[in-house]
Structure 1
């Protein structure tokens, strides 16, 4: 396929471009920054005209796309004012989704987030591990992701062949950033992430699987390492952080409290990287 990856210069974006090219796809990166060349075009996704035009074709780059992977965003609250985070991300995502619809691009993979399902978990989730049935936002970044998922779920109804897959990524860890796990024995390490994390290369694997397994309609999958980022056994962690909250009887010893059972069962996701 000829695939556009927005946010191609980010940690997950770089890993995704590398992975999709290794799989034999032609990939073009769309971002505000990047390395000039045939695999990159500077696009401001806050401008719908630029977005649509880039999807329809770019001279000396491509004449049409088969799929879009949308990863671009202000990545966290705090970098800009809260309302700017929401307005920037929601606007860019709407432009991407609607431009894909207008351009006849039937496969879209959209980066959603753990922030759409309770982060930073100061209010306990209804059950553990937290799965895709729980949707709750407590900051403007998460609120934007909830809205993006809702828009995507409606847009697929406008075209019977359209497929949009929202991947709820947790904290993406670059291959050279594993030194953070030196703190894994801290009882509250990654408490706001329910202990979850994912290697950027495994995040790219999830994107590749979502593209390969795309079916008409809208689907949401959690993307995390199946193993927790906290050193303690997961049941003990759950009891310490969320006393009284129901825990799955078959929870694995170090299984992530952000459930990845759905993406494992349906798309065959298997993490290759583990900080342990």
Structure 2
């Protein structure tokens, strides 16, 4: 079996990717900033990264930071991967990075282009927002009696485990270039998703639709981050919420 390195292997997506690959019999190395034996900050690179890549045939790049540094991290990873003779780079991106001029999306698109120009076999999978992202968003907003939501914006959330299954499957195959996008089963308004969260959490909050300005907001409002033709995910936000709150109740 192939030795596979998963960057960000302790994160929301990386963890189930690692579990799936190990279940399929692969030797999997988990790279993150704080997890031994491959504790590496990709933004700095160095000998630790070289050691993690030694003998690795495939890299699944899940590591990311909303605080910046993804482009430098990708440069370091690609350079070290080429030096180590890695044959396949697999990258998780976001639906709409080429249509929505949101700063984080621009960074993801720039990393896509680095992967494509790496000279190494590559696969890029774009997915819509994870259920977990909306959960954290609504959890934070619901601390106030009033939840402000961007007006006239919809979303198409997808189950992270379904993305992990797809990403792990791609990692075990030949380089595929741009893979088909993976999107959730339903396109929903943000208020409908927020109400689903509030119902599951047993909370009552007023929802206020706030019109925003700017090119990124207009692109989100136009649905640039959606993929209605790729609604292949099966798990709904309500199903995700039922499991999440049941797990919380079980820990009490």
Whether 1:53 aligns to 2:50 is yes
How many Å separate the matches in 2 of 1:50 and 1:32? Answer: 14
- 1:102 partner SS: helix
Q: Is 2:162–2:233's contact at 8 Å kept on the other side of the alignment?
A: yes
Instruction: Tell me which residue corresponds to 1:167.
Output: 125
Which residue of structure 1 lines up, in the alignment, with residue 11 of structure 2?
Answer: 10
| Structure with greater helix percent | 2
Structure 2 residue 186 is the aligned partner of structure 1 residue 227: yes
CA shift digits 1:34-80 (9 cap, x unpaired):
3x4xxx520111123236413443xxxxxx11211111111x3xxx4
Which residue among 227, 236, 248 is the counterpart of 1:274? 236
CA 1:65–1:143 in structure 2 vs 1: closer, same or farther (change >3 Å)? Answer: same
Q: Give a deviation string over 1:235-266, Cα, whole Å, max 9, x none.
A: xxxxxx99xx999xxxxxxxx9722756x8xx
In structure 2, the gaps of 5 or more residues are: 142-146, 194-216, 239-252
Aligned residues: 204
Equivalences for 1:230-249 in 2 at 5 Å? 230=189
- CA RMSD, Structure 1 to Structure 2 (Å): 3.7
- Residues 197-252 of structure 1 deviation map (CA, whole Å, 9 limit, x = unaligned): 12111110121222234336x325423223334459xxxxxxxx99xx999xxxxx
Name the SS of the counterpart of 1:224 in structure 2: coil
Residue correspondence of structure 1 range 112-131 to structure 2 within 5 A:
112-114=93-95, 116=97
Using a 3 Å threshold, how does the CA distance of structure 1 residues 56 and 12 change in structure 2: closer, same or farther? closer
Structure 1: 5+ residue stretches without partners: 58-63, 117-134, 233-240, 248-255, 265-269
Are 2:153 and 1:152 equivalent residues in the alignment? no
Alpha-carbon distance between aligned partners in 1 of 2:100 and 2:222, rounded to the nearest angstrom: 21
CA distance in 1, matches of 2:21, 2:151: 30
